[in-house]
Amino acid sequence: MSRLAAPAVVTVVGAGTMGTGIAQVAALAGHPVLLLDAAPERARAGVAAVRRSLDRLVERGRLGVADARAAHGRVRAVDSLAAVGDSALVVEAVAESLDAKRTLFAALEDVVAPDTVLATNTSSLSVTDIAAGLHRPGRCAGLHFFNPAPVMRLVEVVAGDRTDPAVTAEIADLVTAWGKTPVHVRTSPGFIVNRVARPFYGEAMRLLEHGVDPATVDAVLRECGGFPLGPLELTDLIGQDVNLATTRSVWEQTGRDPRFEPAPVQVELVASGHLGRKTGRGFYEGSGSSEGAGPSARASTARRGPTRPAAAEAPSSVAPSRVRVRGDWGPWAPLWDRVRTAGVVVEEGPTSGAPVAELDGGLLVPTRGRTATDCAESDGDPVVVLDLAGDAATTRRWAVAACDGCPPAALDRAVGLLQATGAAVTVLPDVPGLLVARTVALLVDEACDVVGRGVASASDVDTAMRLGAGYPRGPLEWGERIGPHRVAALLDALAPTNARYRVSPTLRAAVRDGRSLREL
């Protein structure tokens, strides 16, 4: 049996939301839990908070009375480091400060056993740097829970440069026994989730610069992209300051890589004190808070919050009676089955070459990273460009953009065709890559880069983004469904507009060698 298995003593240092959540998880798993905080009254309040949370689970029928009472008795507050000497595992959940974490671990080394595991719940700091001052840095690892810890299944198990592999294996087994899903990560800026997720927020914020309102941006990514929440409503729930701090941390640690540069609109929000729900104003007007919450808790909070403003939606148009389709439509292909079901005649042309749908007086084409205006200049016809959908067979919203000078009738025919599928249609400004396509392409590319740098395996990256960020599928699986060559080509088309769209060497090599992204 592992030395960390219950009933080994677990100490949690830091009695905030994360610390009390971790304490609850450990207590329910059968561990005696010591809760320590620099302010003793906070530790006592934290124990009370754990017990209230357990009681709520009983009231909701999710936990038996006997199990709750047993867990109640396992958690107690202590008021000094001297009281935690018998701990097999210490998890720190103190302020996100390198100095604070180093100071704490140095003091712990004086009181705990030589084989006690020291784990940090940091979300962005280097585990190597945190362990640098320890006499035994091999016993220090990252144990990054997601908020709320009792609910969120994912835990990033992070190895520093000197972490003993046996330690990460042992704590991964431990969190599995706690009912969590561990993923193994080598310490790096943002680990997996907080690094790969950056484009989800950044691309949405940059579309605001083109005059699109927040509700429309969120609706497109939620209803067309398939994400559980839109990025702007999500940052309001997390806290604009918290989200910006994570972005800045990753940006600084990567040498100010343009892929992670903070969006000016978010910088301005934070400078103005508009931090989201907790201040009553962010991208939206509203009240309440779910700072740091995971996707399931965030979605619940969003449902309880203010009514979402209406997204921009094209007026109802009449679908054309027929459409001629040619080329390889790839992930967009299910559109045509839906159109046929609606009674539109779909004439199929050659399946090779660039995908095009010929409507009376214009063309509908899936985005390849060029503007509709650029496409019209090369094709010689009015062009409407179609954004990527998370699942073209079921999407509840389509997004399009029309070329400059597009006749209203040509746009109406394209809109009517898409509305025939039973979905809403949003007309976006004519920006290259539109919104879902360029966001997903960047997520896929960043996931490839994380794997290529040896930060995590392909399967762990996909697992982390599904469980930690709530994505409908892992980005590498998504990239396979779209086609790695399409992802790279779209980014290549976007690259002249901004350096953040460069293709990672790992994605480039996968396309060249015909390798599956899920087997990188």
**Catalytic machinery residues:** 123, 144, 156, 194
Residue with tokens 């080994």: 8
- Cα Rg, the chain, nearest whole Å: 25
Q: By C-alpha distance, which of 350, 354, 380, 349 is closest to 366?
A: 354
For 389-422, b where at least 16 C-beta lie within 10 A, e where not — what string?
bbebeebebbbbbbbeebeeebbbbbbbbbbbbe
Distance CA(213)–CA(245), nearest Å, equals: 24
User: Distances from the Cα of 460 to the Cαs of 404, 443, 464, 472, in angstroms?
Assistant: 44, 15, 6, 15
Three-class DSSP category at 154: strand
- Number of helices (H), then strands (E), in the chain: 21, 15
Both tokens of 159, joined, read 């190895």
* Amino acid sitting at position 505: P
**Residue 174 CB coordination number (10 Å):** 28
Residue with tokens 């919050």: 305
* Amino acid sitting at position 9: V
User: Distances from the Cα of 466 to the Cαs of 28, 213, 215, 227, 447, in angstroms?
Assistant: 25, 27, 24, 10, 12
Give the chain's end-to-end CA distance (angstroms, integer). 34
